[in-house]
Amino acid sequence: MIRLALFLIVLATGLAAQEAQDAPELEPPMTYERLGKILFALDPEALPQGPGFQLTVGDTPVLVITDVNADRMRAMVSISSAADLSPADLQRMMQANFDSTLDARYAIANGTLWAAYIHPLSTLEKDQLISGLAQTVNIAKTYGTLYSGGAAEFGGGDSQGLQRELIDELLKKGEEI
């Protein structure tokens, strides 16, 4: 009986060691400093600005703001004035927020229409940050057309059908050529 117990202990210890060896290495918590290093790697001309940074992704200016006390970060791209948004524009943005913007969102603040990505700062991983920045730039660039974060759609909403309508319309026009 003692041999069986010792065997099970040794087996469990070996399995635990193997699992620890196979486990992916966890990233360190995201901090303002680590965020800055990543942003400067993406844009060497990025500028620290107060509690955040201003950088360019592609040809799009992006503002990244941090609040260490609230453990939040926000990446934002200004799209346009919100003053002229129609009810149809607002509805389309809300539809896109449901299924095609992914982790980025359309938002309105201080009279401006924004593309925004918001995440807890400490648990933000490098790849999540990079993906969130890309999605934010993509929804800013596709405002008024596809309203897309640039990756696969989550589905279950209206965007896919509306985008399909555009494809069908273009195909129909192409038939006349």
Q: What is the pLDDT along the chain (177 residues), one digit of tens a residue?
A: 555 444 445 444 554 555 556 656 788 999 999 999 999 999 999 999 999 999 999 899 999 999 999 999 999 999 999 999 999 999 999 999 998 898 999 999 999 999 999 999 999 999 999 999 999 999 999 999 989 887 655 555 655 554 445 444 444 544 444
CA distance 58 to 148: 16
pLDDT value of residue 149: 82
- Decide: pTM greater than 0.85: no
**Residue 131's closest CA among 159, 107, 150, 155?**
150
For residue 109, the one-letter residue type is: A
Question: Which CATH number fits the domain 28-175, given the four candidates 3.30.1460.10, 3.40.50.10710, 2.60.40.650, 3.40.50.620?
Answer: 3.30.1460.10
pLDDT value of residue 123: 96
Buried b or exposed e, range 8-46, using 16+ CB within 10 angstroms: eeeeeeeeeeeeeeeeeeeeeebeeebbbebbeeebeeb
CA distance 131 to 104: 9
